Amino acid sequence: MTVTTKSPYQFINLSSFRKLNFWDYYTLSNKASIFSNFPLVELGTVIKQRKESIVIDDAKIYKRCRVKLYGNGVVLRDPDGIEGKEIKTKRQQVCKTNDFLVAEIDAKFGGYGIVPTELNGAIVSSHYFLFEIDTTQLLSEFLEIVVKCNDFSKQVKSTGSTNYSAIRPYHVLGYLIPLPSLEEQNILVQAYNNRIAEAKRLEDVAKSLEKGIKKYLFDQLGVVKNNCSIAINGLSFLAYKEIERWALSHLLKRRLYSFKNVKHPILPIKTLLTFFEGGKTPSTSRNDFWGGDIYWTSAKDMKELYLKNAQDRITNLAVKEGGLKVYPKGTLLGVFRSGILRHSFPVALTEVETAINQDLKAMGINEELVLKEYFLNFLNVFQKMILERSQKEGVTVESINTYEFLEIPVIIPPIETQRIISAQIQSIRNEVANKKNQAGTNRQLAISEFESKIFMPCN
C-alpha cells in the first residue's frame, strides 16, 4: 500500500518581491494583478506631484473644487465662490487644467479625477494631491477614462493596511496603467467619447419627451401660458379656476399658466379623494415582524409614479399585532409627515398590495369622476409647474399642508377623454424609459469596450 503525503507548502503562495507595488495582503496574494495588451507603466513615469501652495488673501474671492466619489470627476465646491476670510486653512494649493487631482481620504472610494478647464485656478487643501501630466506620453483624456476602470481602481482599494483608509502620493505614483502610443490613446478616447455622445443625445431626447408631457396635457385641456405679471397692489380678484395653489403667498405671485380657457369642470382635490391613515412601523427588535410576504411601503420607496415593489416586507403577525391595513393594488399613496405633504406632494400609485407606515396616507378616489392614472399624471404635471415657477422666481420649493393640498384645482374632462390622455402620456413615458435605458447601455458599453481593449482578463 502506497501512502501519498501532501506537501506542507501546498497552502503557501509565493510572490516575487520585485513585482510588489505595496506591502498588503491584497497585493501579496496577487489579487491586484493586472494584465494589458499594452505596456504597463507606473504612473510616476508619466505624472509628477506639484507641491507649491499659496497664502489665502482674506479680501479675495476664491473658487474651490472637490472630487466626486467613484470616478465621477472634479466639480466646483462653492457655486458663488468663497471669501478668503471664510477659509480657515490659509495655505492652499492651486489647480491647473488637466491636473490629476487625488483626495487623500476618499481615493479608495474613487475620489480622483482630471481638473476641467473651468476649474483652472481653483484651490484645494493639503488633503488633496495634485499631479501634472507629461502630455508627451499620456493624454489627460485617456487617464481620465483609465482611472474609471476596475483594473485601476482595485489597486487603489488595496493600498495600505486594512485599518487606515488614507493614501499617500507615493502610492499614486506606484499605480500601474497601460500606456499605448499617443495615436492609439486618441483612437481609444474617440471611441469612448462617441459612446458617451450617443448616451447624452438619448438623454436629451428623453428630457425633451418628458417636457412634452406637460405641453400635451395642457393642449388637451386648454391650459395656456401667461405672458404677463399680475399686479398685487390693492384689491385683486381671482377666478377659482385660475388658482394653482390655495396659499396666500402663491395667490400673490406671478402665475405662469391660466385655466380661464378650460372648457371642462374644475374641482378641488378634496371633492375627489378620501384619506386613510398609515400604520405604526413594526418594532425593529421583533425579528418575527420582518422578512414576510407583505410589502411594507415607506417614504424612502416613493421615488417613482408607479411603485412596483418596496424595499421591505413584513409578516402577517406584524400586520395583526400592529392593527395595520394592507391596501390593494392600485392604491394612491402620498408622503405626509406631521400633516405636511413633503417636497411638492410626491404621490404614487402602488402596483402591489402593501401596508404603509405613519408617514404615508392612502387615498381612495372617486372613480366615477376621475381615473387614477389621469389624476396621477395631472398632479405630476402640476408639481412640475410649481417647480418651474419656483425656479423662475429663484425661491425654494415649499412643502404644503394637507389643507392646501386638498384645495389644488383639478381639471375633470369626460372619463373617455381622461382614458385617451392617460394612454398617450403612458406611451410617452414608455418611450422616455426606453431612451434612458439605451443611454445607460451606451454609458456601460463606453467603459466596458474601452476596458476590454486595454486590459486582459486575469487568469
**Residue 212 maps to a domain:** no
Indicate the number of domains in the chain. 2
Burial 244-261 (b: 16+ CB within 10 A, else e): bbbbeebbebebebbbee
Does residue 160 share a domain with residue 244?
no
**Residue 71 maps to a domain:** yes
Q: What percent of the chain has pLDDT over 90?
A: 48
Does residue 155 share a domain with residue 77?
yes
Residue 369, C-beta contacts closer than 8 angstroms, at least 6 positions apart? 267, 271, 272, 412
Supply the range of the domain harboring residue 294.
Answer: 218-423
In angstroms, the CA 197 to CA 85 distance is: 41
Does residue 226 share a domain with residue 171?
no
Range with the largest mean pLDDT of 117-126, 233-242, 328-337 = 117-126
How big is the chain by its Cα radius of gyration, in Å?
29
Does residue 375 share a domain with residue 305?
yes
- Across 7-15, average pLDDT: 53
- Across 41-61, average pLDDT: 94
**Candidate from 19-28, 158-167, 202-211, 350-359 with smallest mean pLDDT:** 19-28
**Residue 160 maps to a domain:** yes
**Residue 93 maps to a domain:** yes
Q: What is the CATH number of the domain that holds 43?
A: 3.90.220.20
pLDDT one-digit tens code per residue, 175-216:
999 999 999 999 999 999 999 999 999 999 999 999 899 899
**Residue 319 maps to a domain:** yes
pLDDT one-digit tens code per residue, 407-420:
888 999 999 999 99
**Candidate from 198-207, 275-284, 287-296, 386-395 with smallest mean pLDDT:** 386-395
Backbone dihedral region for residue 169 (phi beyond 0: left; psi -120 to 50: alpha; all else: beta): alpha
Average pLDDT, the chain: 82
Is the pLDDT reported for residue 311 higher than 90? no
Does residue 150 share a domain with residue 46?
yes
pLDDT at 26: 47
pLDDT at 187: 97
320 beta partners: none
pLDDT one-digit tens code per residue, 347-398:
889 999 999 888 888 888 898 999 999 999 998 887 776 666 555 554 455 5
pLDDT at 277: 66
**Banded pLDDT at 422 (limits 50, 70, 90):** very high
Which residue in 260, 256, 259, 261 sits closest to 227, CA to CA?
256
Which residue in 328, 327, 24 sits closest to 174, CA to CA?
24
Does residue 106 share a domain with residue 48?
yes
Is the pLDDT reported for residue 276 higher than 90? no
User: Which of 179, 206, 226 finishes a domain?
Assistant: 179
**Residue 332 maps to a domain:** yes
Is the pLDDT reported for residue 18 higher than 70? no
Other Cβ atoms within 10 Å of 243 Cβ, number: 18
What 3-state DSSP class applies to 239?
coil
- Across 25-47, average pLDDT: 76
User: Which of 179, 204, 226 finishes a domain?
Assistant: 179
In angstroms, the CA 420 to CA 417 distance is: 5
Does residue 390 share a domain with residue 281?
yes
Block residue for cell numbers 475620489: 111
**Residue 433 maps to a domain:** no
Is the pLDDT reported for residue 142 higher than 90? yes
Q: Which residue has the higher pLDDT, 138 or 161?
A: 138
Block residue for cell numbers 392617460: 422
Long-range contacts formed by 280-285: CB under 8 A, 24+ apart: 280/322, 280/324, 280/357, 280/358, 281/357, 281/358, 282/314, 282/318, 282/322
**Residue 431 maps to a domain:** no
pLDDT at 358: 81
Residues 198, 441: contact at Cβ < 8 Å? Answer: no
Residues 323, 381: contact at Cβ < 8 Å? Answer: no
User: Which of 125, 150, 179 finishes a domain?
Assistant: 179
What 3-state DSSP class applies to 418?
helix
Helix (H) or strand (E) holding 61: strand 61-62
Does residue 240 share a domain with residue 171?
no
The whole-model pTM stands at 0.75
DSSP, res 223: -
Is the pLDDT reported for residue 323 higher than 60? yes
Which residue in 69, 123, 59, 136 sits closest to 93, CA to CA?
123
Does residue 122 share a domain with residue 56?
yes
Query: In degrees rounded to 5, what are phi and psi of residue 187?
Result: -65, -45
- Across 293-308, average pLDDT: 87
- Across 85-92, average pLDDT: 93
**Banded pLDDT at 405 (limits 50, 70, 90):** confident
Q: Which residue has the higher pLDDT, 442 or 250?
A: 442
Is the pLDDT reported for residue 169 higher than 80? yes
DSSP, res 283: P
Is the pLDDT reported for residue 399 higher than 80? no
Does residue 171 share a domain with residue 315?
no
**Banded pLDDT at 235 (limits 50, 70, 90):** very low
pLDDT at 404: 77
**Banded pLDDT at 251 (limits 50, 70, 90):** very low
C-alpha cell at 287: 425579528
In angstroms, the CA 409 to CA 358 distance is: 26
Does residue 135 share a domain with residue 77?
yes
Does residue 174 share a domain with residue 222?
no
Is the pLDDT reported for residue 137 higher than 50? yes
CA geometry: angle at 289 spanning 287 and 292, to 5°? 105
Is the pLDDT reported for residue 254 higher than 50? no
Other Cβ atoms within 10 Å of 395 Cβ, number: 11
